Amino acid sequence: MTDKGELEAARRFGNQSELAKTLQVESGGLVPQLKRRERAQLLGQLRERVLWGVTKQALDSKAVHPAFVQALDSGRCERLLVRSDVITLAMSYVLQATAHHIPYTFVQSPEFTGDVTVVLVSDCPIEESHDPIIN
Rounded mean pLDDT, 9-32: 69
pLDDT tens-place string over residues 73-122: 888 889 999 999 999 999 999 999 999 999 999 999 888 888 898 999 98
Quote the pLDDT of residue 122. 87
Percent of the chain with pLDDT over 70: 84
Quote the pLDDT of residue 130. 58
Quote the pLDDT of residue 41. 83
The order of strands in the sheet holding 104-107 is 104-107, 77-83, 116-122, 50-55, 133-134
Strand locations in the chain (E): 50-55, 77-83, 104-107, 116-122, 133-134
Q: What is the DSSP letter of 88?
A: T
Quote the pLDDT of residue 99. 93
Q: Which of the following CATH numbers is that of domain 35-134: 3.30.70.20, 3.30.1330.30, 3.40.50.720, 2.60.120.10? A: 3.30.1330.30
Q: Residue ranges per domain, the chain?
A: 1-34, 35-134
pLDDT tens-place string over residues 23-33: 666 666 565 56
